[in-house]
Amino acid sequence: MFANRGQTILEPVPHRRRPGDPTTLEGLAGLARPTAASRTRLLPVPDPLIPLLPDGGLRRGSVACCRGHGSASLALALIGAASAAGSWCGVVGLDDVGALAATGYGVDLRRLAVVRAPVAQWAVATGRLLDGMDLVVVRPPDRPRSSAVRPLVARARDRRSVLVVVADRSGWPEPADVVLQVTAARWRGLDCGAGRLQARRATVEATGRGAATRPVRRELWLPSASGQVVGA
């Protein structure tokens, strides 16, 4: 646990803990549940991402899938505004989440739980977080089976949470409500092999089901030189 940052990192433990213990998935979900019980239909996203979503935000009970190079950054950018507004967020399968990068996208580290689950337990950990958190980001360790994915989709819908899938290496077997694909990305700052990476310009295309069927494309700085997501 990073006490100086406020970020919570959980690792599943085999022995029994007392109810409400914030070091367990069940205890943390219980603490976060009052926030997840909000009746607001949409969770906010940063202004540059609003045109990519048919509702202008993340609809509760939905699944958003991020693909392509830079999809992990895109997922963090998606949850930044909701986190800053008070929503609890959980992350499974992104053990290398950088505190500085997450903060740049607006994520409140005091309401971010990073779960280091064993490969075989990623779906269990994701489901537990969906029980009590508004937003859960998951990167499956390998190509998941539909039998493991369908219960998560159903739980997100039942709990009115948003499931954000980082499908850069594994894919996702079930249709997502919104698919955000990074179709092109280029870093700025290197000149003939010298210099420092400063910003990444990315082309993001959004498709999906229902109102999201028609593709929408935007040019973004992901991140910008300030670490935020900004329209290019």
* Secondary structure of residue 139 in the 3-state scheme: coil
Is residue 113 assigned to a domain? yes
pTM score: 0.82
Query: Which residues lie closer than 8 Å to 1 by C-beta, 6 or more apart?
Result: 7, 8, 9
Is residue 158 assigned to a domain? yes
CATH number of the domain that residue 96 is part of:
3.40.50.300
pLDDT of residue 4: 40
Backbone angles phi, psi at 164, to 5 degrees: -110, 115
Q: Residue 144 to residues 10, 124, 126, 156: CA-CA distances in angstroms?
A: 22, 13, 13, 17
pLDDT of residue 12: 46
At 94-125, the pLDDT tens digits run 877 888 889 999 999 999 999 988 889 999 99
Q: Residue 53: which domain range?
A: 22-179
Is residue 56 assigned to a domain? yes
Q: How far apart are the first and last CA of the chain?
A: 36
Q: How many structural domains compose the chain?
A: 1
Is residue 26 assigned to a domain? yes
pLDDT > 80? residue 35: no
Is residue 65 assigned to a domain? yes
pLDDT > 70? residue 169: yes
Is residue 229 assigned to a domain? no
Taking the C-alpha atoms of residue 216 and residue 51, their distance in angstroms, rounded to an integer, is 8
Is residue 208 assigned to a domain? no
At 179-226, the pLDDT tens digits run 999 999 888 876 666 567 788 999 999 998 887 778 999 999 999 888
Taking the C-alpha atoms of residue 37 and residue 167, their distance in angstroms, rounded to an integer, is 28
139-165 average pLDDT score: 94
- Residue 144 host element (H or E): none
Is residue 198 assigned to a domain? no
pLDDT of residue 158: 95
